[in-house]
């Protein structure tokens, strides 16, 4: 057997959680279990690290069961476990459709994790260019910045864990995640702000998006100053 | 090949609970080892911490995902990102393991063993040469802890490592605990292992502690103090090695920094005694 074929067989066994097919290839098959255990444990530990508040909300036993099931169908493809689980929130949404706060908590965990090591925000010096055609300008969210559409109060739950656990409740809104210097942050957007930011992030030109938002120019000016100050938006290429 | 050291260096791994102490800049070590992949990022706190630690300390980049044993070659994007980091940090050197972690784009995040065959040797040599060319610097290759011995193997681990050195010009990072763990798990004599190593290629040593696993196997967990059998083996290593960089490798159940510095002092004491 070539090394490539052997490695594909080994890897398939790891993902399936059973390396028994390789028992005849080794001197002491007991060692195979070390790797089946380690490979699963690494992925589950990676998810526990990346989704710490989700773990706390669900409890260790329930989280581990979900993480093991996810790991069995979602191998890692990154060089670091810090990148593992990008679609774990969506997996949780499918698995727990009646507890929407679980997937939303996970989405917030992931967005904060992504902001943690994203490219450093740059001063918005581009906005000082007097020749900018603001009407036609297209913006996008800066690296590490994201806008999450929530149906529940998952953001309040996140903030309350672990000191003062609160009950899940419906609370539709848009939650903005970004990094302030080195610290990941999040907040609920104000009425109209999140919708305008979402329209801009979707690629709408600044002028028409502002018109469609129905917000007054004073409010839009205040939002824009805050976005630029925090480096949340940048011009599209 | 990385030039021989003129004196031994003593270092520790940079772990999160100790970041603030290292950032203060007065930890008495000659170098700091970091897990490369934790710092192959776009920005934020990891990049900030490493840049500031680098102002006070020499740094060694130690990888866990290069996957030198993968039969289909290395990930070019990984190497490119690692080169960016190495060019920015200017480490003493870059190291990774004699192991594979995945194939066809999958990463198990476990250091998986390879059979010691001529085919595997050719592949690992090709991969080391690919890495060294991409990084523009020689590599240190670390001996693994192994729990499996393959019936297909046709050479010993030390013969395999010696051949890597001879064919690629790479240097070696000897993990003393891994020699202890693999020796225990396979019933091999660690001293025979030491006698087969090309010592003039050794640039770094790792000291760590294993845990007892099932079926009598020792597991390389890095979550305990360096145990006495590893210290005994370390003394044997020091009778053979020239000046090298020595570090305590602790990745879990991280104790206070003072405990690790005490272990590092013990390594210094062993070295002083052996050199008398």
Using pLDDT thresholds of 50, 70 and 90, give the confidence band for residue B121. very high
Using pLDDT thresholds of 50, 70 and 90, give the confidence band for residue B265. very high
Q: What pLDDT digit, counting tens, does each position of B43-54 carry?
A: 999 999 999 999
B151·A26 Cβ contact <8 A: yes
Task: Provide the token pair at B40.
Answer: 């192959």
In the beta sheet, which residues pair with residue B32?
B12, B59
pLDDT at A165: 78
pLDDT at A205: 97
Is B46 part of the contact surface with chain A (CB cutoff 8 Å)?
yes
pLDDT at B276: 59
DSSP string, A30-95: HHHHHHHHHHHHHHHHHHHHHTHHHHHHH-HHHHHHHHHHHHHH--B-SSSGGGTTTTHHHHHHHH
- Residue A66: pLDDT over 70: yes
SS3 B200: helix
Domain boundary assignment for chain B: 9-274
- Nearest residue to A138 via CA among A72, A202, A69, A49: A202
Is B211 part of the contact surface with chain A (CB cutoff 8 Å)?
no
| Mean pLDDT, rounded, of chain A | 95
Q: What pLDDT digit, counting tens, does each position of A70-114 carry?
A: 999 999 999 999 999 999 999 999 999 999 999 999 999 999 999
Q: From CA B107, how far away is CA B103, in angstroms rounded? A: 7
Domain boundary assignment for chain A: 1-84, 99-237
Q: What is the mean pLDDT of residues A2-20?
A: 95
CB atoms within 10 A of CB B195: 12
Is B251 part of the contact surface with chain A (CB cutoff 8 Å)?
no
| Mean pLDDT, rounded, of chain B | 96
- Report the percent of chain B where pLDDT is more than 90: 97
| Between B172 and B276, the higher pLDDT residue | B172
Residues of A in contact with B65 (CB under 8 A): 79-80
Q: From CA B127, how far away is CA B143, in angstroms rounded? A: 16
Q: What is the mean pLDDT of residues B194-216?
A: 95
A43·B186 Cβ contact <8 A: no
- Nearest residue to B21 via CA among B183, B262, B256, B265: B256
Residues of B in contact with A48 (CB under 8 A): none
CA distance A44 to chain B (A): 11
SS3 B175: strand
Is B162 part of the contact surface with chain A (CB cutoff 8 Å)?
no
Task: Provide the token pair at B125.
Answer: 């040599």
Q: From CA A142, how far away is CA A145, in angstroms rounded? A: 5
Residues of B in contact with A30 (CB under 8 A): 147, 214-217
Q: C-alpha dihedral over B230, B226, B6, B194, to 10 degrees?
A: 20
Question: Do residues B242 and B5 make contact, with C-beta atoms less than 8 angstroms apart?
Answer: yes
Q: What is the mean pLDDT of residues A54-75?
A: 96
Q: Is the peptide bond before B90 cis (omega within 30 degrees of 0)?
A: no
CA distance A41 to chain B (A): 10
User: What's the Cα-to-Cα distance from A64 to each of A49, A71, A102, A178, B38, rounded to whole Å?
Assistant: 12, 10, 14, 28, 24
Q: Could you say which of 3.40.50.1000, 1.20.1250.20, 3.30.450.20, 3.20.20.150 is the CATH number of the domain covering B9-274? A: 3.20.20.150
- Residue B275: pLDDT over 80: no
pLDDT at B25: 87
Using pLDDT thresholds of 50, 70 and 90, give the confidence band for residue A60. very high
- List alpha helices for chain B, DSSP H: 19-24, 44-54, 76-89, 118-135, 157-168, 176-186, 190-195, 228-240, 257-274
Nearest residue of A to residue B147, measured between CA atoms: A31
B119·A15 Cβ contact <8 A: no
Q: Which of A1, A2, A3 to substitute to test the interface with B, most B CBs within 10 Å?
A: A3
Q: What pLDDT digit, counting tens, does each position of B73-112 carry?
A: 999 999 999 999 999 999 999 999 999 999 999 999 999 9
Q: What pLDDT digit, counting tens, does each position of A126-149 carry?
A: 999 999 999 999 999 999 999 999
DSSP string, B92-159: S-EEEESSB--STT-B-SS-B-----HHHHHHHHHHHHHHHHHHTS-EEEEPPP-S--BTT--S-HHH
Q: From CA A49, how far away is CA B40, in angstroms rounded? A: 18
Residues of A in contact with B148 (CB under 8 A): 26-28, 31-32, 35
Q: Residue window 87-106, chain B: list those with CB within 8 Å of chain A.
A: 100, 102-106
Instruction: Choose among A7, A33, A80: nearest Cβ to B214.
Output: A33
- Nearest residue to A211 via CA among A136, A145, A142, A139: A136
Is B80 part of the contact surface with chain A (CB cutoff 8 Å)?
no
Residues of B in contact with A7 (CB under 8 A): 70-71, 100, 103, 112
Is B189 part of the contact surface with chain A (CB cutoff 8 Å)?
no
Q: What pLDDT digit, counting tens, does each position of A199-210 carry?
A: 999 999 999 999
B109·A43 Cβ contact <8 A: yes
In the beta sheet, which residues pair with residue B95?
B62, B140
Question: Do residues B241 and B199 make contact, with C-beta atoms less than 8 angstroms apart?
Answer: yes
pLDDT at B12: 98
Instruction: Choose among A8, A24, A117: nearest Cβ to B43.
Output: A117
For residue B216, the 8-state DSSP code is G
- Nearest residue to A179 via CA among A143, A155, A222, A147: A143
């Amino acid at each position: 057997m070539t090394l490539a074929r052997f490695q594909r067989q080994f890897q398939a066994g790891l993902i399936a959680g059973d390396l028994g097919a390789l028992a005849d290839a080794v001197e002491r098959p007991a060692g195979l279990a070390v790797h089946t255990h380690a490979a699963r444990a690494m992925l589950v530990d990676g998810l526990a690290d990346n989704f710490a508040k989700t773990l706390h909300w669900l409890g260790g036993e329930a989280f581990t069961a979900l993480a093991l099931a996810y790991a069995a169908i979602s191998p890692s493809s990154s060089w670091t476990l810090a990148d593992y689980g990008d679609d774990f929130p969506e997996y949780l949404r499918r698995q727990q459709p009646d507890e929407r706060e679980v997937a939303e908590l996970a989405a917030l965990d992931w967005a904060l994790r992504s902001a943690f090591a994203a490219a450093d925000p740059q001063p918005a010096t581009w906005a000082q260019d007097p020749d900018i055609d603001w009407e036609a300008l297209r913006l996008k969210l800066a690296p590490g910045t994201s806008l999450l559409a929530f149906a529940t109060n998952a953001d309040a739950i996140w903030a309350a864990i672990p000191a003062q656990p609160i009950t899940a409740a419906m609370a539709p809104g848009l939650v903005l995640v970004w990094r302030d210097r080195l610290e990941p942050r999040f907040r609920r957007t104000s009425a109209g702000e999140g919708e305008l930011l979402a329209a801009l992030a979707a690629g709408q030109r600044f002028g028409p998006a502002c018109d469609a938002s129905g917000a007054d120019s004073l409010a839009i000016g205040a939002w824009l100053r805050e976005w630029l100050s925090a480096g949340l938006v940048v011009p599209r290429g | 090949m990385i030039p021989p050291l003129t004196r031994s260096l003593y270092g520790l791994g940079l772990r999160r609970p100790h970041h603030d102490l290292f950032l203060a800049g007065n930890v008495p070590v000659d170098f700091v080892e970091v897990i490369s992949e934790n710092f192959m990022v776009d920005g934020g706190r990891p990049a900030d911490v490493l840049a500031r630690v680098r102002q006070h300390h020499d740094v060694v980049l130690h990888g866990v995902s290069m996957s030198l044993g993968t039969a289909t070659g290395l990930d070019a994007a990984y190497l490119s990102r690692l080169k960016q980091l190495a060019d920015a940090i200017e480490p003493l050197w870059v190291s990774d393991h004699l192991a594979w972690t995945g194939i066809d784009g999958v990463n198990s995040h476990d250091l998986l063993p390879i059979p010691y065959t001529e085919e595997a040797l050719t592949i690992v040599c090709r991969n080391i040469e690919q890495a060294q060319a991409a990084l523009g610097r020689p590599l240190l290759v670390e001996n693994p802890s192994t729990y499996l011995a393959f019936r297909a193997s046709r050479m010993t681990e030390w013969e395999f490592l010696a051949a890597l050195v001879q064919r690629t010009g790479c240097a070696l990072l000897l993990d003393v605990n891994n020699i202890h763990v693999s020796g225990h798990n396979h019933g091999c004599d660690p001293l025979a292992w030491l006698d087969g190593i090309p010592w003039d290629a050794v640039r770094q040593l790792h000291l760590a502690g294993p845990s007892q696993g099932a079926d009598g196997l020792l597991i390389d967990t890095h979550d305990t103090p360096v145990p006495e059998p590893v210290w005994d083996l370390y003394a044997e290593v020091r009778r053979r090695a020239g000046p090298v960089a020595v570090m305590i490798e602790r990745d879990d159940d991280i104790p206070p920094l003072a405990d690790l510095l005490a272990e590092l002092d013990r390594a210094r004491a062993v070295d002083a005694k052996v050199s008398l």
